[in-house]
Every structure is written in C-alpha cells, then in structure tokens.
Amino acid sequence: MRKVKLGLKVLLGVFFIFGGVMHFINPAFYKPMMPDYIPSPDLMIALSGVTEIVSGIMLLLPKTMVWGAWLIFAQLLAFMTVHVWMIQHAHDRYAKIPLAGLWVRLVFQFVFMAWAYWYTRPEKDTPPA
C-alpha cells in the first residue's frame, strides 16, 4: 500500500506542478474560466499558477508534504467557486461545453480534495508479517 500511496502522491504533485506551469505557458486558456467577480484575472491566473507549482513541489518533499497537501486542498476548495460559477453561467458563457462536463469537473474537485487530504494524515506503521 505504501508504494501505491507514494506513486499517487508523485502523480498528484506532478499534476499540480504541470497545471501551474500551464498557467504561464497558456494563460489564455484559463482566462474564460475566470468569474467576473474576480479582480485582475491575469494576476490571479499567474498567482494560482505559482501556488499550484509551490504546492506540488511541497507535496513531493517529505518535510513539507503535509503543508503541501493542505495547500492543494485549500486551492481546490477555492477553485470550487469557479466551477460552480461556470455551471451557473453554462447557458450563456459556456454553451459550447456540455453541462454534464461542467458537473463532472465539480465532482472531480471532491475526488482531488480527498486525494490531497490523504497526505495530511500521518503514516501508520504496518506490523511485521
């Protein structure tokens, strides 16, 4: 089980680092997702990119793993408002995206939050066989 947990931790960390880097490579992709109520969308896209990179790196380092997991959890919680906003505006701003797809994205926020939360818990030593 430890190898599975380690492998999934690396996957989550790399996923967040990659996602954060993409905020700088292709910020235009993220701009349409930004709710109207968020000020300075370009700055917020860059800031969320930085926090994704930092949290992904922190998750991968043993000394900062728990803090990185909590930062990922907090980001996902904050990003949930964006997903809800996109569902609320599906008929006008996101008509090209199937509504079911927007709901799936929201559901996956909970999956990712549970995944990150898994790394906030201390490892339990397994008894010898």
Within 10 angstroms of residue 23's Cβ, the number of other Cβ atoms is 20
Mean pLDDT for all residues in the chain: 93
Model confidence, pTM: 0.88
The Cα-based distances of 49 to 56, 88, 105, 109 in angstroms read: 11, 24, 18, 17
Using one digit for the tens of pLDDT, what is the confidence trace for 48-105? 999 999 999 999 999 999 999 999 999 999 999 999 999 999 999 999 999 999 999 9
Q: CA-to-CA distance for 27 and 8, rounded, in angstroms? A: 27
Amino acid at 73: F
Instruction: Kindly report the length of the chain.
Output: 129
